[in-house]
Amino acid sequence: MLNLEVCQRARLSRDARFDGKFFTAVKTTKIYCRSICPATTPREENVRYFVSAIQSAAAGYRPCLRCRPDSAPGSPAWNGVSTTLERAIRLINEGSLQDSSLKQLCERLGVSDRYLRQLFNKHLGVSPKTYALYQQCLFAKQLLHQTKLPITQVAFASGFNSVRRFNDYFQSQLNLSPSQVRKSRAVTTEALQLQLYYRPPYDWQHLQNFLSKRAIPGLEYCNENSYARTFQWLDTSGYFRVEHIAAKNRFLLTIELNDISHLKAIVSNIRRILDLDVDTQMVEQDLQAYIALRPGLRLPGIWSMFEAGIRAILGQQISVTAAGNLLAILVATLGQAAGERYLFPTPQSILNSKLEFLKIPASRKQTLRSLAQHYLSHNKPDNPQPWLELKGIGAWTVDYARLRGLSHPDIYLAGDLGVKKAVTKTGNNFKPELASPWRSYLTLQLWSQL
């Protein structure tokens, strides 16, 4: 439920901490805006407030061409409501309804399509398919504003199979035509660049330090203001670089791809790696009773669950530096060359190798190959729970992979040496279970105190 008084104050002050947490619809213009919109402030009697962009659209309002609601950080309106709903939204944002049916999505979630429809209608006011289509249209609008991609490529990059279908849905969902949006753009570069916004506070210094200590040469690059890496997404490979622009509460994303058909899912994954959509105010309000906080900490993601699992296995019981050295050798030896860079090794390349170049016990080499085999032989390899059946993988490895590979918000690494050291400083009454559903952020706060 929205607090109308809070929404009014945030709207009048253009408070960036509320960006994406609600949207303001203006009755006289039939336009909805972000809380930070620079346009002339409408009178209170002429506005309505909505918790999401899609609810604004369902009420008959179109997105503002000035503040561009498509660029707002993700709305947290459904956070904590339902694990199933959160998983469904994440999978839809990754393109699951572009590549498969609603029935297949429900089978993956382990629920009936009727139940999933009820969840969406109750908490978002629309069906799963309508939600997916609207997100595709908003992403297309972002591409039209911020890039010079031809409209045909924008259609395919946002998940539509034809330009005609794209034009029809775009017009019906946003009450705008693609050409109207393209006329209003202000593009200054030929490169494929997008603006990725977040709500402050955002402790980039901490995230940058965390990522730079673990960056793999040839795969990743991290300096004071930016992070970059190569990646593989299904049959698409590429490279991205994000530059932090603190004064604007955003990152500038520059991306290179050999195929733009999965661009929306790739950008969503980059947002997850940088943890751009979390409501830090909510998290820190819940955690402040248990620990002295460093404001603005974000979960540092890893590109995929497979990579997270390999990193976790090689990081067992050794230092961050030692694990980094092993990973650098693995990538340089088995990673596919991409110019002067490397892609992370595939499960097939690890399974086919004896890994003799790694100076680790034979049992750990076998664990690496077992995880690779698991990925090649299972339909749902990203579910880490079955990993526990593999020799050499325990609870810490699975939890670390879930924390960084899925960015799961409620993972407490009780067995982590760093966490244990930090807990000793908090006193004997420390009860991490009380910090649920934000125990991943509790883990991160504990690490930051070392």
User: Residue ranges of the domains in the chain?
Assistant: 4-70, 83-183, 193-275, 278-299+407-450, 302-405
Q: At residue 8, what are phi and psi to the nearest 5 degrees?
A: -65, -45
* Mean pLDDT across 231-241: 94
Does the CA dihedral 140-144-146-149 come out positive or negative?
Answer: positive
The confidence band for 191, taking pLDDT boundaries of 50, 70 and 90, is low
Q: What percent of the chain has pLDDT over 70?
A: 96
pLDDT tens digits for 365-377? 999 999 999 999 9
Tens digit of pLDDT for each residue in 363-415?
A: 999 999 999 999 999 877 778 999 999 999 999 999 999 999 999 999 999 98
pLDDT digits (tens, 9 = 90+) for 293-346: 999 999 999 999 999 999 999 999 899 999 999 999 999 999 999 888 999 999
Neighbours of 61 (CB within 10 A): 25
Determine the Cα–Cα distance for residues 296 and 281; give it in Å rounded to an integer.
Answer: 8
- Select the more confidently predicted residue: 87 or 190: 87
Reported as a pLDDT band with limits 50, 70 and 90, residue 187 is very low
4-70: in CATH 3.40.10.10? yes
> What's the predicted TM-score (pTM) here?
0.89
- Work out the pLDDT band at 434, boundaries 50, 70, 90: confident
Cβ atoms of 230 and 337 within 8 Å: the answer is: no
pLDDT for 426: 75
Question: CATH homologous superfamily of domain 193-275?
Answer: DNA-3-methyladenine glycosylase AlkA, N-terminal domain (3.30.310.20)
Determine the topology of domain 83-183 in CATH: Arc Repressor Mutant, subunit A (1.10.10)
Largest Cα–Cα separation, the chain: 71
For residue 192, how many other CB atoms are within 10 A of its CB? Answer: 21
Q: Please state the φ and ψ torsions of residue 418, each to the nearest 5 degrees.
A: -65, -40
Q: What is the mean pLDDT of residues 23-27?
A: 96
In the CATH hierarchy, which top-level class contains the domain 302-405? Answer: mainly alpha
Mean pLDDT across 22-40: 94
- pLDDT, average across residues 138-156: 92
Whole-angstrom Cα distance, residue 322 to residue 439? 27
Q: What is the pLDDT of residue 81?
A: 57
Cβ atoms of 144 and 138 within 8 Å: the answer is no
Question: Token pair of 370, please?
Answer: 């077992």
- pLDDT (mean) for 110-118: 92
Backbone angles phi, psi at 81, to 5 degrees: -80, -50
Q: Look at residue 75 in the predicted model and tell me its pLDDT.
A: 56
Query: Which three-class secondary structure state does DSSP give residue 228?
Result: strand
Average pLDDT over residues 123-133: 90
